[in-house]
Amino acid sequence: MRFHQIEERNQVLLSKIAINNDHGEDSPYFDGWKAYDNDPFHPVNNPLGVIQMGLAENQLSPDLIVDWIRKHPEASICTDEGLMSFKDIANFQDYHGLPEFRNAIASFMGKARGGRVKFDPSRIVMGGGATGASETVIFCLADPGDAFLIPSPYYAAFDRDLRWRTRAQIIPVHCNSSNNFQITKEALEEAYKKAKEGNIKVKGLIITNPSNPLGTTYDRDTLKSLVTFVNDNNIHLICDEIYSATVFKSPSFTSIAEIIEEMEHCKKDLIHILYSLSKDMGLPGFRVGILYSYNDIVVSIGRKMSSFGLVSSQTQHLLAAMLSDEEFVDNFLAENSKRLAKRHARFTKELKKMGITCLNGNAGVFVWMDLRKLLKDQSFESEMELWRVIINEVKLNVSPGSSFHVTEPGWFRVCFANMDDNTVDVALDRIHSFVGKIDKKEDNTITMPPKTKRRENKLRLSFSFSGRRYEDGNVLNSPHMMSPHSPLVRAKT
């Protein structure tokens, strides 16, 4: 059966969700992951492979967790010390979650926010990672066609998480580099006004704080103005706070939970918080997503919906014990912050030596890197051309700004916490070689500079493709089958 005949048959037999492309897997954001999956870097087995710098994972502190598990074997039902709990935990399936788990998560959320606010365990709703929790709250708040305002640049996979199955819309609130991509009242009101004029029903505003991809935090005044905006327009405010414990330097993180406690006139039932342990603890594989809502109906309905993506009772049992250990939690949060600060400082310092600047961030596991000087012209076509060279020649998977719906070409998100120190060295050496001082060619071809010792350079780029052509549609051959270790297969949040 020919390809077009198969496609026509699928149009009849399958659902619209099954046959549409709204998942976003064909975007450059995911194409970079495929390039890594086809040719993954290994210091011994594949030293010339692609280094994964497009996956926002925190792998700097797993030793602290491993050490705790060794000291507390009773926390696992798969050890001799923990077998006495096996039957009860293996049979537990209440979608409210283990009471001790909800208590521990609520306590951890408070500690991750500096102990300045407390969370009610009865409002904890579980989801299959932040992805599941995000989709759940959208299902609770919106009908197909309804829209949410989101400041751009925003997390690339929001198009999948918030839109794909819910059929909701995303309306970007465009921010720019002139004020370090901070949201303004004027931009927010303009986006809302245009949506209303277009007869689009806006159900809420969604922010990520700390920001992905910017690695910055919202200040108190901005958060208060956002709460006022949603109150005045009677729409929801969803705050994605999954990076709340990754803040590694001032200013400190302010949760929306703190803000609404301070404001006298606040419609709390419009406020919802998304959380997970994927970033703050580096446990994305545990698929722990949390929806914390101040709306009683959302808590009730969200809990019923969570039966489609619960956290396993075994995982709940282990984490309940771990997160109830206050000494461990305090030490983990402090040490993890120190390690993130050290890695961020080292990475940005070396980039600065090469003449590369980044947005001044204070949180997250990535930097927002400015490569505008390397574009042959200020267009997204030039950004994609540069990105293809970085992927295919420099062998680094970094994410282009266009994937995050930024309005200015030349920005890239680069993850720095998902690798060991030696791999960081290799990545920095590759970047240094790429942006080394070279002469511009009139034909705008990029020539890979020879590897030299690190020194300060002005960014001058000439394009060479090593005799190979990279045209739209022929950049990366997406594999038919991906390794089980692929980020696409692992469904990262």
Give the C-alpha separation, 75 to 321, whole Å. 6
Do the Cβ atoms of 434 and 182 come closer than 8 Å? Answer: no
Q: Is 194 a catalytic residue?
A: no
Q: Is 240 a catalytic residue?
A: yes
State how far the alpha carbon of 20 is from the alpha carbons of 7, 24, 161, in Å. 11, 10, 15
Structure tokens, 309? 């993506």
Edge-to-edge strands, sheet with 124-128: 124-128, 288-293, 271-276, 236-240, 202-208, 147-152, 169-174
Candidate list 279, 290, 391, 492, residue with the active-site label: 279
Candidate list 31, 37, 161, 240, residue with the active-site label: 240
- Of 459, 466, 462, 411, whose CA–CA distance to 436 is shortest? 459
What SS3 state is found at 491? coil
3-state helix/strand/coil string of 421-464: HHHHHHHHHHHHHHCCCCCCCCCCCECCCCCCCCCCCCCCCCEC
Do the Cβ atoms of 441 and 462 come closer than 8 Å? Answer: yes
Do the Cβ atoms of 128 and 309 come closer than 8 Å? Answer: yes
The beta strand positions in 114-192, using DSSP E, are 124-128, 147-152, 169-174
Candidate list 36, 155, 192, 243, residue with the active-site label: 155
State how far the alpha carbon of 205 is from the alpha carbons of 119, 193, 219, 263, 484, in Å. 22, 13, 17, 18, 36
Give the residue ranges of DSSP H helices in 270-406: 296-305, 313-323, 326-353, 380-389
Query: Residues 307, 488, 383, 369: what is their CA dihedral angle, to the nearest 10 degrees?
Result: 70
Q: Is 155 a catalytic residue?
A: yes
Give the C-alpha separation, 485 to 37, whole Å. 8
| Strand 411-415, strand 366-370: pairing | antiparallel
**The residue type at 452:** T
Structure tokens, 138? 């959208």
Do the Cβ atoms of 373 and 333 come closer than 8 Å? Answer: no
Candidate list 242, 260, 431, 446, residue with the active-site label: 242
Q: Is 124 a catalytic residue?
A: no
Give the C-alpha separation, 27 to 10, whole Å. 22
| Strand 147-152, strand 202-208: pairing | parallel
Residues catalogued as catalytic? 155, 240, 242, 279
